[in-house]
Chains A and B, each alone.
Chain A
Amino acid sequence: MSPDRSIIKQGIADALPLYVPAIPFAFVIGVVIVESGINPFVGWTSSWIIYGGAAQLTLISLLGSGAAIAAPITAGLVVNARHLMYSAAMAPVFQHQPRWMRWIGPYLLIDQEFALAMLRADDDPRAFRTYYLSSGLVFWSLWQVTTAVGILVGPIVPESWSLEFAVSILFLGLIVMGIDKYPKLIAALVGAGVTYVTAGLPNRAGLLVGALAGILVGTIAERFRT
């Protein structure tokens, strides 16, 4: 097998289990689109125009609630503002990529793709690109299909399964497997703790506050370590 083919295989193999917990989100988005009264096709276009579950859910449920148009848009943007930090974290890696890849890469930069790609940051540029695009296209294609299926059959899935909790478990696994020194553990714990304390902030702003606090304290811990 050529190196490229084995990397593509690895990208697909890594993406598939990580996509499983996104399935309930896709179904919920489908249900919310149907219940919101938005044209189902227009609602589904958010899957490829926005391509981000949390922002899609926030935007569509608020549009359906009859809120003034500025509220759903602002909330959707705030929820996805964490991607600024992904963009900053990935920028050094993308320095070694051709221009077309720097335009396409951000479009595919969802939470799961970020988590997988950061573990590959030290690969050579071609191997990184092959891995990023193969795993990214798996996530993208599955998202388009499963949100469409969700619009059709979403209401049948029992809420009692609480499958959305699987996202938390997989993110924890990603943290644990990514920790190679104690300041990263501190960053994760502070990120979680501060988000917990600020959970009541509107528009999920606590997520950003917690993340920034974790980055800051992790950096300070690194200074003391070296």
Chain B
Amino acid sequence: MTDLFAIVLVGVGTYLSRGIFILALANRKIPDPVLVTLQFVAPAVLGALIVALLIDSDGNVSIGIPEISALTVGGAVAYKTRNHIFTLIAGMGVFWLVRALT
């Protein structure tokens, strides 16, 4: 029961964090300076997430030559092809290859 209580609490909190601006501000005009700032939320959060996903349970960033190689090639393929599947195949391919060689 305690486990279910914890899940429900985090679920409610997660919904509120996703919904508060959409529900509370949906009928109001958002000032222009705020709109300027909001366009940088996506690149900043995604950039932060890439690193955060590589943080281990001790708080260290586990990034080595395979990860750096894969992100470099993946970024280049994304830029050239604008295609997520090609980006994924190239990135993971380089990751596994370099990891096997190092």
Classify chain B's interface size: 35 or more
Contact indicator B91/A169 (Cβ below 8 Å) = yes
Q: Which residues of A contact B70 (CB under 8 A)?
A: 165, 169
Q: Which residues of A contact B39 (CB under 8 A)?
A: 89, 184
A191-B82 CB under 8 A given contacts A50-B11, A73-B10, A92-B30: no
Contact indicator B21/A88 (Cβ below 8 Å) = yes
Q: Which residues of A contact B8 (CB under 8 A)?
A: 49
Contact indicator A187/B47 (Cβ below 8 Å) = yes
Q: How far is the CA of A168 from the CA of B84 in the complex (A)?
A: 12
Main secondary structure of the interface of B (DSSP, over half): helix
- The residue among A45, A88, A184 with the most chain B CB atoms within 10 A of its own CB is A88
Instruction: Tell me if B52 counts as interface (CB < 8 A to partner A).
Output: yes
Q: Which residues of A contact B60 (CB under 8 A)?
A: 199-200
Classify chain A's interface size: 35 or more
Q: How far is the CA of A125 from the CA of B82 in the complex (A)?
A: 25
Contact indicator A115/B4 (Cβ below 8 Å) = no
Contact indicator B49/A165 (Cβ below 8 Å) = no
Q: Which residues of A contact B13 (CB under 8 A)?
A: 76-77, 80
Shortest A176–chain B CB gap in Å is: 4
Instruction: Tell me if B101 counts as interface (CB < 8 A to partner A).
Output: no
Contact indicator B42/A178 (Cβ below 8 Å) = yes
From B2, B14, B25, B44, contact of A91 by CB (8 A): B25
Number of A-B residue pairs, CB cutoff 8 Å, is 269
Contact indicator B46/A174 (Cβ below 8 Å) = yes
Kindly identify, within residues 18 to 77 of chain B, every residue whose CB is under 8 Å from any CB belonging to chain A.
18-23, 25-27, 30, 35-55, 59-61, 67, 70-71, 74-75, 77
Contact indicator B48/A204 (Cβ below 8 Å) = no
Instruction: Tell me if A63 counts as interface (CB < 8 A to partner B).
Output: yes
6 A-B pairs closest in CB distance: A214-B44, A106-B19, A218-B40, A191-B47, A169-B91, A188-B47
What is the interface of chain B, defined by CB distance below 8 A to chain A?
Answer: 2-11, 13-15, 17-23, 25-27, 30, 35-55, 59-61, 67, 70-71, 74-75, 77-79, 82, 84-85, 87-88, 91-92, 95, 99
Q: List 23 A-B contacts (CB under 8 A).
A: A46-B10, A52-B14, A55-B14, A69-B5, A77-B10, A80-B17, A91-B26, A92-B38, A94-B22, A103-B19, A162-B95, A166-B91, A168-B67, A168-B71, A173-B87, A175-B42, A176-B75, A187-B43, A192-B47, A200-B59, A201-B59, A206-B55, A215-B40
